């Protein structure tokens, strides 16, 4: 018995069977299958792009955090004009440092003062909070497409199935032939849209949950870093009375 040949024949038979089922689908069913295929492409594109973006952000956050803790002064990296694209923590640091620098220099742009006022410190905190929110929204962008794929694809597939079954029964009623041979092609072609919807929704669901988990982790890191930055700024630049 030649097992590879048998497996190849089974695979070829399944492929031909799938093509046969799709070929018997109604025009509406084929349109829905094409739409689901496009949804699948969009979902996989979003998942891959966001996974790479979050992986890069996590790696850059680790490097930046280690470098930040080695600085003797909170504005040391800002004065060196460093730029770290794609690092959420750096964007928070940059926003806070710019606001702090502006409050220390004043509106006239004079040399930096030694201390910042309580009012100036409040402005720094608000700047940090706004930047944390902006970075969180940036990381979250695109996830709505996955949420739509998760919730919408099964219903779109179900619509194709119901429509296909309805069309099949209507065709059988017109022909007055209720045999299994007449029903099987139409019903199987109708069910393939549900399968297509699930094939879009299931990977999208796993990808969405994984990305949301990583997004929450990054958001917590941003909040914690903002609090750490505020603490260092207050320690170094807020005058004790």
30 in any annotated domain: yes
According to DSSP, residue 26 is labeled -
Counting every residue written for the chain, the total comes to: 241
Whether pTM exceeds 0.85: no
Burial class (CB in 10 A: 0-12, 13-18, 19+), 84: middle
pLDDT recorded at residue 134: 93
Number of structural domains in the chain? 1
16 in any annotated domain: no
- Number of Cβ within a 10 Å radius of residue 153: 24
> Which mean pLDDT values do the consecutive 10-residue runs of the chain (241 residues) have?
42 57 71 88 93 93 90 87 87 92 75 81 91 92 90 88 76 66 66 86 93 93 93 83 56
122 in any annotated domain: yes
1 in any annotated domain: no
Structural domain boundaries enclosing 57 = 26-237
Token pair for residue 178?
């209720």
Question: Using an 8 Å Cβ cutoff, are 204 and 153 in contact?
Answer: yes
18 in any annotated domain: no
102 in any annotated domain: yes
17 in any annotated domain: no
Distance CA 119, CA 167 (A): 71
9 in any annotated domain: no
pLDDT recorded at residue 76: 87
């Amino acid at each position: 018995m030649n097992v590879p040949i048998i497996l190849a024949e089974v695979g070829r038979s399944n492929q031909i069977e799938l093509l046969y089922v799709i070929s018997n689908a109604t025009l509406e069913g084929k349109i829905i299958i094409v739409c689901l295929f496009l949804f699948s492409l969009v979902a996989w594109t979003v998942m891959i792009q966001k996974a790479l973006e979050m992986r890069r952000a996590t790696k850059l956050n680790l490097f930046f955090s280690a470098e930040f803790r080695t600085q003797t002064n909170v504005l040391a990296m800002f004065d060196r004009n460093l730029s770290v694209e794609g690092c959420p923590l750096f964007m928070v640091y940059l926003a806070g440092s710019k606001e702090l620098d502006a409050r220390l220099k004043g509106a006239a742009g004079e040399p930096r003062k030694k201390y910042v006022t309580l009012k100036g410190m409040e402005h720094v905190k608000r700047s940090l909070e706004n930047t944390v929110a902006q970075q969180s929204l940036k990381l979250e962008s695109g996830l709505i497409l996955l949420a739509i794929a998760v919730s919408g694809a099964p219903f779109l597939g179900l619509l194709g199935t119901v429509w296909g079954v309805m069309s099949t029964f209507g065709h059988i009623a017109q022909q007055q032939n209720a045999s299994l041979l007449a029903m099987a092609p139409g019903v199987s072609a109708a069910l393939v849209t549900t399968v297509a919807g699930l094939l879009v929704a299931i990977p999208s669901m796993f990808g969405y949950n994984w990305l949301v988990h990583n997004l929450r982790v990054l958001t917590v890191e941003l909040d914690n870093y903002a609090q750490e930055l505020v603490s260092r700024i207050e320690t170094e630049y807020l005058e004790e009375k």
